[in-house]
Amino acid sequence: MSARTLLRVLPPVVLLALLAYLPYLSFSVPGVLPGRVNGPGSMQLLATCLVFAGFALSYDVVFGRTGLLSFGHALFIAAGSYLLTVSLADWSMPLPLAVLVALGGTTLLALVVGAVALRVGGIAFAMVTLAFAQAASIIVLRDPAGVTGGEEGKALARDAVPELLVGVANAPYRYWLALGFLVVALVLVRLLVRSRAGHAMAAVRENESRAAVLGLSVYRVKLLALVVGSFLGGLGGVVHALVLGGSGPHLTTAEFTLSLLVMVVLGGAGSTWGAVVGGFLYHYADARLTEASGSGVLDALPGVLQSVLAQPLFVLGAFFVVVVYFAPSGLTGLGGRLVRKGVRT
């Protein structure tokens, strides 16, 4: 193994080892995590952040790698989540079979939605995907079949889930599950990017007309990207349901898809680590700002600052605007430029 390859492989391996070891660390980081690093609150927060990093990575396959602006990606995440919880609670399936049903159903749904939506392009494609997502959101909220739980969501059937994934004391195992999901998503995306299909996606993103002239089936490339991204999103929905103990209707909303778009652009669209960093930091900031706004921490600040900081979406939106203006390539792109500048000097 060459020194260059070692330098490229070693940092992710070290980072993965450190993340896997976190549940064994018992010290506190005041202001950063809610209690000890391996405490239930910290483990649950970190697990959810890792799941959202995987969500962002799945959306980056569609948007960052292929250039498809989809407003319906939440549909596939919700499909994976709800198909799992419904399969366990209402259809009495064992967990392995329920996972297969969730992933198979999500993939089939992506094929159907993609086959219809990809007949148009640009803003029209975005609107068609939004229409599908909104229709699913209405069905979930109104719950005509009595299986989704409506506004209350669908709880996980705990007797169908391994005991290691249930209860406050087992938060580290749910953290390891979320970490495993992110690693699987990272590996699959890296393999996809380096494959012929990944190169075709990049060609379609850069110049769709030229890719068609070169003999690529643009429709099939886009459909493949949508299906792969949706499959990863569905897998993330499955893990999200296991980590949080059920499915919630917020997963079906267009606002959730927009937050995925913000995560990807924030970290760096078309960058594997950009999507991961963007998804992780976005959810972490959202969760911590929400907690701070209701804990009285802001009471000592002036009224204007209190009212502003008490709105996490406002703070995140303002930060997003700043990043897009000063770092169009995202946080990872900005970090890379700073590192290269430091090396040259």
Other CB atoms within 10 A of residue 339 CB:
10
Q: Assess whether pLDDT exceeds 70 at residue 340.
A: no
Q: Assess whether pLDDT exceeds 90 at residue 326.
A: no
Q: Assess whether pLDDT exceeds 60 at residue 328.
A: yes
Contact 65, 201 (CB under 8 A): yes
Least confident of 138-147, 185-194, 225-234: 138-147
> Residue 3 has what pLDDT?
65
Domains and CATH numbers, the chain: 40-290 (1.10.3470)
Between 180 and 34, the higher pLDDT residue = 180
Q: Assess whether pLDDT exceeds 70 at residue 308.
A: no
- Give the distance, in angstroms, between the CA of residue 174 and the centroid of all CA atoms in the same chain: 16
Q: Assess whether pLDDT exceeds 90 at residue 318.
A: no
**What backbone torsions phi and psi does residue 194 show, to the nearest 5 degrees?**
-85, -5
Question: Rounded distance, CA 4 to CA 24, Å?
Answer: 32
